[in-house]
Structure 1
Amino acid sequence: MLNQQTIDQLRALKLTGLLEAWEQQREQPQTHDLSFDERFALLVEREVLHRENRRLARLLKAAKLRVNACVEDIDYHHPRGLEKARMAALASGDWIRQSLNLCITGPTGCGKTWLACALGNQACRQGLSVRYLRLPTLFEQLRIAHGDGSYPRLMNQLLKMDLLILDDWGLQKLTAAQRQDLMEVIEDRHGRRSTLIASQLPTEHWHDYIGEATLADAILDRLLHAAHRLELRGESMRKLAAGLTDRDRPE
């Protein structure tokens, strides 16, 4: 009776990890040789781990990362210009906590999206909030938000993200409305949150991509000033994964 009352109280307090550990201890006689303090420490450790795992699951679900990638699986054998020391520094997340930006550029298939998602996954594991969006998707969400009155709420949601990943930057010319929306997003986050841009368009062409000189200057000043940059190079990893090279392809 006493055990059931304790179980009910632990469930009411949402101490699920502690409850599971306690039930395991009751079923494992060897734990009875431990002192009370040792057994209690194990219970608390299990509850902390349970909460950390639940938090990570929530953060990853909210991040909506495009691919399941982690920094431990980064391929350094393929010649893309990646340096282990630099990637380790980025994986530490210090740049995110310092509200700095990161720009990953390179040709199609060199792993920009994968690396962006790996760094996003790492940030989630460090307890930071992340949101992945393709830039065309962001513009569509902002367009709809202008129409239904949810624009302030959407902008507030974007601002709260410790790391905002914007993929497929530079696919097509921006409209005047898109330039203004982009300016508002970048301005809101400037100096307060981090933004990661993934693009096959080299940064020297971003000014032309944005289009209007005054807004382009303002956006790029906020986005690129003191930003980290990864300029990838080399042959497409998708092509190599398929066992093909330029020489193997039919003319």
Structure 2
Amino acid sequence: MLDHPTLDQLKTLRLDGMAEAFAEMQKQDGTAGLSHAEWLGLLIDRETASRETRRFESRMRTAKLRHVGASPEDVDYKSRRGLDKAMFQQMLTGRWIKDKRNLMITGPCGVGKTWLACALAQAACRDGITVLYKRMPRLFDELELAHGDGRFPRLFKALTKTQLLILDDWGPDRLNASQRRDLMEIVEDRYEVGSTLITSQLPIDTWHDVIGEPTFADAILDRLVHNAYRVELDGQSMRKTKLGTGDESIQS
């Protein structure tokens, strides 16, 4: 029998999906009557699916999402928080990312801003889009250290080249001069090149004060907000929902 040599060759060629399918099909009586072309087609289909799964998993690892399990299928549209179902489902298609537009999600603590951002990120990863998640307070700390140890060019490239950059938890602390400059450089290089998703407890009309210096604030917000979709949430914290359900209500 050629089972073992064939499997070994497929694995040597790193055709793991085909190897798995070959082993399974050898055990199934229903595949005995398939033509060579049908066999080959099934093996190729499995290899294609296997590779896409691996690419998706790689994109998810690179994204480093806060809520890895945030799934588009689990979005809660019933809670009273002002989430427009039709609009959000349109966002899940990823068209706004292909159009290089931005998205701002605002609302009080606990209404699910970060979870929704991560659900959008997972949908993007499924569609082959590269994603990077950063909490803004930690990002600024990371940028400060990177300036000192020589890692800044590498970090800056990662922030500007990803197709979707998520900046979670904008504000409330006012930016210092170095943070303003870094943010300006990031949004300038991303403008009309990639999409940026920002979550914040603060209304957008207060962001100017968070940036601080009027010239920088005007330039940064012009590049971030003018072509952005907005999701403005309200209501009470969803964290009050009983723990242990595993759904969005306790992971917001």
The TM-score bracket by the shorter chain reads: over 0.9
* Matched-pair contact (CA < 8 Å) for 2:7–2:23: no
| Structure 2 partner of 1:74 | 75
| Structure 2 partner of 1:247 | none
1:167-197 CA-to-partner distances (Å, cap 9, x unmatched) read 1101311111111111111111111000000
| Structure 1 partner of 2:239 | 238
Distance 2:5 2:76 in 1: 53
| Structure 2 partner of 1:28 | 28
Quickly say closer, same or farther: Cα 1:241–1:205, change in 2 above 3 A. farther
| Structure 1 partner of 2:249 | none
Distance 2:110 2:242 in 1: 10
Q: Kindly state the Cα deviation for residue 136 of structure 1 after the two structures are TM-superposed.
A: 1.0
Distance 1:217 1:127 in 2: 33
Query: Under a length normalisation based on structure 1, what TM-score does the superposition of the two structures give?
Result: 0.93
| Structure 2 partner of 1:245 | none
Q: Tell me the secondary structure at the aligned position of residue 110 of structure 1.
A: coil
| Structure 2 partner of 1:103 | 104
Distance 1:71 1:22 in 2: 33
Instruction: Give % identity.
Output: 54
Q: Kindly state the Cα deviation for residue 30 of structure 1 after the two structures are TM-superposed.
A: 1.6
**Uncovered stretches (5+) of structure 2, i.e. residues with no partner:** 244-252
Q: Kindly state the Cα deviation for residue 3 of structure 1 after the two structures are TM-superposed.
A: 4.1
Distance 1:213 1:140 in 2: 23
Q: Tell me the secondary structure at the aligned position of residue 105 of structure 2.
A: strand
Structure 1 residue ranges (4+ consecutive) displaced by more than 6 angstroms after TM superposition: none
The count of residues paired between Structure 1 and Structure 2 equals: 242
1:102-155 CA-to-partner distances (Å, cap 9, x unmatched) read 000001111101100110111111111111110011111111111011211111
Q: Residue type of the partner of 2:153? A: P
Q: Tell me the secondary structure at the aligned position of residue 170 of structure 2.
A: coil
Distance 1:71 1:29 in 2: 38
| Structure 2 partner of 1:88 | 89
| RMSD of equivalent CA atoms | 1.3
Q: Kindly state the Cα deviation for residue 201 of structure 1 after the two structures are TM-superposed.
A: 0.4
Q: Kindly state the Cα deviation for residue 218 of structure 1 after the two structures are TM-superposed.
A: 0.3
Distance 2:37 2:53 in 1: 24
Q: Residue type of the partner of 2:51? A: R
| Structure 1 partner of 2:250 | none
1:44-63 CA-to-partner distances (Å, cap 9, x unmatched) read 11001100111111111111
Query: Under a length normalisation based on structure 2, what TM-score does the superposition of the two structures give?
Result: 0.92
Does 2:76 correspond to 1:40?
no
